[in-house]
Amino acid sequence: AMLLVSRFPDHVIAVCATDALGVFGDGAARVSESVGRGTDLLRLMAWATATVDLRQGPVYARRCLQSLVHGTPVLVPAATRGREHAQLGRCGLWFDGPTEFLRATDALLTPPVSEVLGRQSAGYVAQWCRSSEGFVDDIFSSLRGAVDLF
C-alpha cells in the first residue's frame, strides 16, 4: 500500500486487508472497520478502477473472478491462477516484481486501458465461466467418471 501511495499520490487507493480497509488519498490515510460482509467487498470491487489480488490460491482465483463480473479489471502476480484469467480474457494485467507492479498499476490507472479491460472482463466471465448450477453439474460428471473407473 505504501509503495502505491508514494508512487501515485494523486489517486485514491483502497487497500483491503484481512482485518480492515484502508483508503489512502490527499496525503491522509483512513482505516475503516473490517469489511464484514461479502456484499460490501463486491460493492468496493465494482466501484474500483482495478482489483489487486495478491493472495490467490493455485486452483481458483475467486476474488479475481468476482471483480471481473463487475467489469473491474484485475492486477495479479504472474505466478497465480488469476494470471490465466487476466491473460485469456484480456481483462487484466500481471506482474513479477515491484518494478512490473508499478508499471502495471500505472497502465491500469490510465482511463482508456482500464475502460477497455473492464469492458472485456464481464464478457470473459459470461463466455467462459459456468453458472453455479453448471459448475455443480461438471463436478458430478467428473465424479461419475471417477466412480466408473473402480
Mean pLDDT calculated for residue range 31-59: 71
* Cell numbers that stand for 128 in this block: 467462459
Question: Alpha-carbon distance 112 to 99, whole Å?
Answer: 22
User: Are 13 and 1 a contacting pair, CB within 8 Å?
Assistant: yes
Which residues share a beta bridge with 76? Answer: 94
The torsion of the CA quartet 106, 93, 112, 130, rounded to 10 degrees, works out to -150
pLDDT digits (tens, 9 = 90+) for 89-140: 888 999 998 899 999 999 998 989 989 998 998 788 878 776 666 667 767 7
**C-alpha R_g of the chain:** 17
The residue behind cell 480497509 is: 21
Phi, psi of 103 (to 5 degrees): -65, -45
Q: 3-state class of 52 per DSSP?
A: strand
- Spatial CA neighbour of 109 closest among 26, 12, 27, 44: 12
pTM of the shown model? 0.73
Supply the DSSP symbol for 21. E
pLDDT at 34: 59
Average pLDDT, the chain: 77
- Higher-pLDDT residue of 42 and 56 is 42
pLDDT digits (tens, 9 = 90+) for 64-90: 788 888 888 888 889 888 888 889 888
User: Are 10 and 4 a contacting pair, CB within 8 Å?
Assistant: no
